[in-house]
Amino acid sequence: MAVDIRKRIETIKEKIREHDYKYYVLAEPSISDLDYDLLVKELEKLETENPHLITPDSPTQRVGKDLTKDFKPVTHKVPMLSLANTYSQEELIDFDRRVREGLPDGEIIEYVVEPKIDGASVSLNYAKGLLKTAATRGDGTTGEEITANVRTIKSIPLKLNLLNSFNYKLNDFEARGEIFMKIADFRKLNEMRESTGEKLFANPRNSSAGTLKLQDPKLVAKRPLNAFLYYIISTEEEFESQFKNLQLLKSLGFNVIPEYRLCKNITEVLDACRILEEKRDSLEFEIDGAVIKVNSIRQQKILGSIAKSPRWAVAFKFKAKQVYTKLTKITWQVGRTGAITPVAELEPVLLSGSTISRATLHNFDEITRKDIRVGDTVVLEKGGEVIPKIVGIVLSERKSKYKPTIPPENCSACGAPLFKPENEVAYYCENAECPAQIKGRLEHFASRGAMDIEGLGEALIDLFVEKKLLNTYADIYDLHLHRTDLINIERLGEKSIDNLLASIEESKKQPFAKVLFAIGIRYVGAGAAKKLADHFLSIDKLISASEEDISSIYEIGPSISSSVKKFFSEEENIKVIQRLKKQGIQFTSQKKEVKENFFLNKTFVLTGALNNYSRDEAAEKITLLGGKVTSSISKKTDCLIAGESAGSKLEKARTLGVNVLTEIEFINLLEEASK
Ligand code: IVH
């Protein structure tokens, strides 16, 4: 009896898997919905009666019950690279030339041309045929684990049919691809959200990426996500070609985009790209270009990669789509730095699957240059980026009653007179107490890349600033003193306030680099903040550093260093930092323990062209080994690493008696140090 039940369960599971494949991958259902539901019901019943027979790969186990509290970091075994972009035939011909130059003479080179799907990339790890983990791309090296959410996507098999594996063992491998939403599904989702008053998604890509980061898999399961796989890798297997790998993925039960083509030369590649571009609008999903890959995996390995992109593949971006619409109004938005940005309010129009009703006009110069007037018919274009651009106006539609646009004289948020620095294009509101600036600064401080205070978004910040509960960053960490007041504010319940206070408390753990980014020093983006934090290790050292000290850091320029000095010369800023310090925010970072090695505590300068690394890669390696990289040679420099055609820096190093290393010597030392 027990054996029979076990068998019956296996049979039903197999049947459901097959029907899922036919329905979700092939879009060719072979049984009625009713019969399918009966199968699922029978399986559920058998599993309820025999819970010990439930396995994680059962179709009933796609949607987990638990919420994902935090998406754990996953280090990709093989980094997830991105692609260099090309925009013209010439650039593609150039790519082909570089590929040929990178390979031994006489090699026959074939390419595969695939659609570039506009979704969110994902890496799926399968062990012994079972889906183990799924991860986002993240920064390419480390992504976030989204297994529970990905399991809900019916076109992604939980269990593979390894009998169809072309004789590969496939004991442990990764399949990579793109999670996306069909345009029609995306529209339906947005219509539903509109009817329930929820915020709309800008485009199918955002809605896919947003869905993958939901904490509740049950909600994810309700969203129409789909996946195309286009890449298979395994450290245990020697694959032959991209073309065969796409067939292998298909044969394993994955959804593979059918519009791929094998090309014998670059002329055929150009042809395939043109055909894809023509097909673009008839596809059910968004593609924003073609991806061209060297077919042979052996050749791919010879070509390798530079920085974050492979030398064996390139993206060909399609021309941006354009539409016309009417400019109904120009509003002047005040940013966190006080800079005023003109925003075009438009008659809503559909462009690449999203409804556009606003577009930035960047600055007043741009308006003058293009002579943009309220009433004009404008040309809107959407390239690879989410935000559409106004690329021009239709002069023939211009009417004499449309008057030239004049710059505003006063801040739209606080009424203060505006000021335009001589060497800048932007107008500024210089009132530090301007509510729009205060809100902008607080929003930036709380945002994901900064202090990451969940729940403290635009709406709450607006409310708290208006109620005078928030003014500076430090006020955020005093909010807990006003718990009762907060709860009494209309609409905010006790639970949501406690959650908010908990995430505020949690944000105190954010490392110094994030804090430095969060406090909003002009020109100090996340990357510069990290470099400053790694170099100075504490805010006090950064405050007392000279402008020269700061700008001598590799890739920190004079505009950053002077802005940093200016920021710390303002008493208000120092006061806020003192308060934040008392509240327990991290203003120091520990240097990671690095074992004794040649690079530790030495200062390096890079010059000339290196053959084996990009400058950034070389700098990163040195920093990881505890060395510092600066941009100019001085007596404090320990070593100059001189690549090919090094010029004035090499001369200066010789004059100053600074030790000079060749690239080969540098690589040997790196290897020695990493042992
Ligand atoms: S191949 C090393 N193929 O485009 C291989 N990528 O900028 C790298 N994408 O992160 C990716 N369709 O998310 C590849 N057919 C396709 C693709 C594709 C979309 C995305 C992917 C990647 C980004 C590259």
- pLDDT tens sequence across 481-536: 999 989 888 677 888 899 999 999 999 999 999 999 999 999 999 889 999 998 99
For range 71-76, the mean pLDDT: 91
Cα 448 from chain centroid (whole Å): 12
Residue 391 clears pLDDT 80, i.e. is over it? yes
C-alpha dihedral over 241, 242, 244, 245, to 10 degrees?
120
Count of Cβ atoms closer than 10 Å to residue 474 Cβ? 18
Ligand 1 centroid distance, CA of 217 (Å): 26
Confirm if 650 and 607 have CB atoms less than 8 A apart.
Answer: yes
Ligand 1, residues 273, 287, 291, 314: which to mutate, most atoms within 8 A of Cβ? Answer: 291
Q: Which CATH number is 435-509 given? A: 1.10.150.20
Judge if the beta carbon of residue 313 lies within 6 A of ligand 1.
Answer: yes
The least confident of 192-196, 342-346, 373-377, 527-531 is 192-196
By CB neighbour count within 10 A (0-12 exposed, 13-18 middle, 19+ buried), where does 192 fall? Answer: exposed
According to the model, what pLDDT value does residue 193 have?
A: 80
Is residue 310 in contact with ligand 1, taking CB distance under 6 Å? Answer: yes
CA of 313 to the centre of ligand 1 (A): 9
For ligand 1, is residue 174 a contact (CB within 6 Å)? Answer: no
pLDDT surpasses 80 at 194: no
pLDDT-derived band at 611 (thresholds 50, 70, 90) equals confident
Res. 375: pLDDT tops 60: yes
Residue nearest to atom 2 of ligand 1 (CA): 81
Instruction: Report, at the CATH architecture level, how domain 2-61 is classified.
Output: Orthogonal Bundle (1.10)
| CA–CA dist 87, 147 (Å, integer) | 35
Distance of CA 567 to the CA centre of its chain: 29
CATH number of 322-426: 2.40.50.140
Tokens 């695939």 belong to 114
CA of 116 to the centre of ligand 1 (A): 7
CA of 83 to the centre of ligand 1 (A): 7
Q: What angle do CA 324, 326, 330 make, to 5 degrees?
A: 125
Backbone angles phi, psi at 36, to 5 degrees: -65, -45
Q: What is the pLDDT of residue 257?
A: 95
The class that CATH gives domain 512-582 is mainly alpha
Helix (H, G, I), strand (E, B) or coil at 453: coil
In sequence order, what E strands does 169-251 have? 172-180, 226-233
CA 324 to chain CA centroid, nearest Å: 30
Ligand 1 within 6 A of CB of 137: yes
Q: With contact defined as beta carbons under 8 Å apart, do 485 and 418 qualify? A: no
**DSSP letters for 580-605:** HHHTT---B-PPP---S-TTTT-EEE
Query: CA 127 to CA 172: how far, in whole Å?
Result: 4
Same fold, 75-317 and 603-673: no
Model pLDDT, residue 440: 95
Nearest CA to ligand 1 atom 18: 116
Evaluate if residue 189 carries a pLDDT over 70: yes
Q: Is the CB of 179 under 6 A from ligand 1?
A: no
Contact 345, 358 (CB under 8 A): yes
Give percent of the chain with pLDDT exceeding 90.
71
Banded model confidence at residue 385, pLDDT cuts 50, 70, 90: low
The verdict on the CB of residue 178 being under 6 Å from ligand 1 is yes
CA of 524 to the centre of ligand 1 (A): 30
117 ligand 1 Cβ < 6 A: yes
Q: Which atom of ligand 1 is nearest to the CA of 120?
A: 13
Could you tell which of 117, 118, 280, 385 is best to mutate to test the pocket of ligand 1, judged by most ligand atoms within 8 Å of the CB? 117
For residue 659, how far is its CA from the centre of ligand 1 (angstroms)? Answer: 43
**End-to-end C-alpha distance for the chain, whole angstroms:** 60
Longest dimension (CA), the chain: 90
Using CA atoms, how far apart are residues 527 and 534, in angstroms rounded to an integer?
11
Residues designated catalytic: 116
162 CA → ligand 1 middle, Å: 25
Q: Is the CB of 121 under 6 A from ligand 1?
A: yes
Residue 353: per-residue pLDDT: 65
Q: What pLDDT score does 205 carry?
A: 87
User: Given this model, what pLDDT does residue 380 score?
Assistant: 93
CATH architecture of 603-673: 3-Layer(aba) Sandwich (3.40)
Q: Which CATH architecture has domain 75-317?
A: 2-Layer Sandwich (3.30)
- CA–CA separation, 144 vs 142, rounded Å? 7
Closest ligand 1 atom, residue 305 Cα: 2
Contact 359, 380 (CB under 8 A): yes
Pocket test for ligand 1, best of 230, 233, 300 (most atoms within 8 A of CB): 230
How sure is the predictor about 66, in pLDDT bands with cuts at 50, 70 and 90? Answer: confident
Task: Report residue 306's pLDDT band, with 50, 70 and 90 as the boundaries.
Answer: confident
Which spans in 223-296 are helix H?
242-252, 266-279
pLDDT bin (cut points 50, 70, 90) of residue 139 is: confident
Q: Where are the domains positioned within the chain?
A: 2-61, 75-317, 322-426, 435-509, 512-582, 603-673
CA dihedral 626→632→634→640, nearest 10 degrees, is 60
pLDDT value for 1: 60
| Residue 465: per-residue pLDDT | 94
Task: State mean pLDDT over 97-101.
Answer: 96
- Write the pLDDT tens digit of every residue in 543-563: 999 999 999 888 888 999 999
At residue 675, the pLDDT reads 77
